[in-house]
Amino acid sequence: MSDILWTIYLGILGAFAIGYLIKGGYKTHSAKLDFVISTITWIGLFGYVTSNELLTPLVWKFVFCGGLIWDLAYGLKKFNEDANEIPRAARPAVFGITALIMIGPLYYGLFQYAF
């Protein structure tokens, strides 16, 4: 059952990314880099879900740490640019909850795969 949920989660992340790509959302260099980093982390999660060793665990440790730092930094920057209607005092809480829900499972699985 959990494999099905992980597969659904991967599908949702992929659908959002492909939709954003088709819509032309990856215009800046940092957005393109975010797409590449996200794709690499999804490959790691795919390896975890399917129980296949795609690369060495050392590579996935670097991907986990680098991807997490990148996603939090880029996500916070992008969120602050786009969240004009959210009160400034509530932005950290809204970002934290949104990040936990959207990318929390990704980095949980990647952590399990790497370590």
pLDDT digits (tens, 9 = 90+) for 63-82: 999 999 999 899 888 887 77
pLDDT value for 21:
85
Residue with tokens 């370590």: 115
Please determine, for residue 112, whether its predicted confidence score (pLDDT) is greater than 80. Answer: yes
Q: Give the residue-averaged pLDDT of 5-23.
A: 88
pLDDT value for 41:
93
pLDDT value for 90:
82
The span from the CA of 103 to the CA of 26, in Å, is 19
Mean pLDDT value across the chain: 88
pLDDT value for 109:
93
pLDDT in tens, 36-68: 999 999 999 999 988 889 899 999 999 999 999
Residue 70: in which H helix or E strand, if any? helix 57-82
Please determine, for residue 91, whether its predicted confidence score (pLDDT) is greater than 90. Answer: no
* pTM listed for this prediction: 0.84
The span from the CA of 79 to the CA of 72, in Å, is 10
